[in-house]
Amino acid sequence: MESTFSSPAEAALQREAGAGGLRTPLGDLDRVYELERVVGFVRDLGCQRVALQFPDQLLGDAGAVAARLEEATGSKVFILGDTAYGSCCVDVLGAEQAGAQALVHFGPACLSPPARPLPIAFVLGQRSVALELCAKAFEAQNPDPTAPVVLLSEPACAHALDLSRLLLGWAPGRPFSSCCPDTGRTQDEGARAWRLRARRHYLVERARDARVVGLLAGTLGVARHREALAHLRNLTQAAGKRSYVLALGRPTPAKLANFPEVDVFVLLACPLGALATQPSGSFFRPVLAPCELEAACNPAWPPSGLAPHLTHYADLLPGSPFHVPLPPPDSELWDTPDVSLITGDLRPPPAWKPSTDPGCSALTPRPQLELAESSPAGECGKSPLPSEFFPHVQATQPQSPSSAASFLSSRSWQGLQPCLGQTPVTAAVSGRRGIAIAYEDEGSS
């Protein structure tokens, strides 16, 4: 059961909700879920209402864990019925809706700071570790005892390590291998790491060639997500690209296929969500991380091989030691010739002119499910758009007179229109009977 605490990062985007996994024996609940520590956490705070967040595969134990905690603390315990964008993110909004004074998060966690202050306890689990097998595998993989080694571990295995000796980091180009904590089996990860770096270089080139960028607002429970969205919108505008902010929840190929005018998508999510690689051919357009968009649009960003790969969007914002400000509009960096490594064409330098009219730089909701758009003449016009595929849309319009609305209006199918109050009310009648190849009223042919 402990192994379910450590799922791969890719599962944050690909996991399908379903029935809970295998249940833990009642005698192991206290050890697996660290109930003694959780009881102490609730009692120290004096909370009367506590929310419990479980990933989908642990929901089978949610009822038993909640009953144990209510009996031991006397507090009212709530089980969050649905997860946030990813199970690794703390669902602060769901806890506030239940009026909870504290939240206990079970399973793998990205440990991202929440958007709102709330006392949180993390139960990462204790995965079994075969120390002797892992030690023998480590000695065979690293015969030189004097060579420096960087040791990385998932949080569920931290209980078996001296935390004072745990080093986090990795030097590209150096040998890299993984070890299964259950069996001690090692595997060389050098080839896989090289493919991932090559994939990220390709995504940066795709972002440089893109003209329309879709900014996917993933988890909204992580701090500074609004500031990060504003930073990415300003970044794309400076690079001469058009950007649209899409709040679609968890991105899926079916959802993103409704926006064929978008060249690349950028996922604003927690570090685990940013690390999740998408299967080849699953999405119509590539999905990037904010760091890759920064490398593509900011000419002051260090070249490949010297720039760090940042997984948290907060590292790109002002105040972070990794923040690189955009050059001024008159900087020579914007005029540097650039050739696409994908098409072989020369990319024209972006003519960056700061926007002076905020009213024509964003789409704003209107009654009757209409959105305002920038017109070729520079005035704000109006164009209806289907709301079914646009739960929340904002766009920046640097210079180009076209927009996604004009592209959508040229498509043969524009989505469903509710037409509230415009459809006459009629009595229900019997429809056609039979199968599509031969309805009853068609007769024989």
Chain segment 144-194, per-residue pLDDT in tens: 878 877 777 776 776 665 573 333 234 556 777 777 777 778 877 777 777
Half-sphere exposure at residue 71, Cβ-oriented, CA atoms within 13 angstroms: 8
- Distance of alpha carbon 249 from the chain centroid: 9
Query: Which CATH number fits the domain 209-342, given the four candidates 3.30.1360.230, 3.40.50.2300, 3.30.2290.10, 3.40.50.11860?
Result: 3.40.50.11860
The span from the CA of 232 to the CA of 172, in Å, is 27
> H/E element holding 242?
strand 242-246
Same fold, 28-123 and 209-342: yes
Contact in structure between 360 and 395 (CB atoms under 8 Å): no
Question: Cβ atoms within 10 A of the Cβ of 399, count?
Answer: 13
> H/E element holding 292?
helix 290-297
The span from the CA of 81 to the CA of 79, in Å, is 6
Q: Can you list the residues of the chain whose pLDDT is less than 50? A: 1-9, 12-13, 17-19, 164-170, 280, 353-401
Q: What are phi and psi of 230, to 5 degrees?
A: -65, -40
pLDDT of residue 104: 92
C-alpha distances out from residue 356 to 359, 395, 397, Å: 9, 16, 12
The span from the CA of 141 to the CA of 185, in Å, is 11
Q: In sequence order, which residues have a C-beta less than 8 Å from that of residue 91 and are 6 or more positions away?
A: 51, 53, 80, 83, 84, 103, 221
Looking at residue 244, its amino acid is Y
pLDDT of residue 202: 87
Contact in structure between 210 and 241 (CB atoms under 8 Å): yes
By CB neighbour count within 10 A (0-12 exposed, 13-18 middle, 19+ buried), where does 118 fall? middle
pLDDT of residue 164: 35
User: How wide is the angle at C-alpha 84 spanned by C-alphas 14 and 321, nearest 5°?
Assistant: 90
> H/E element holding 407?
helix 404-409
Contact in structure between 60 and 102 (CB atoms under 8 Å): no
What tokens appear for 374 in the block? 């920038």
pLDDT of residue 21: 58
Domain boundaries, the chain: 28-123, 131-194, 209-342
Q: Which residue has the tokens 């590209």?
A: 172
CATH assignment, 28-123: 3.40.50.11840
Q: Which residue has the tokens 């068609």?
A: 442
Q: Which residue has the tokens 């060249």?
A: 263
pLDDT of residue 275: 65
Whole-prediction pTM: 0.65
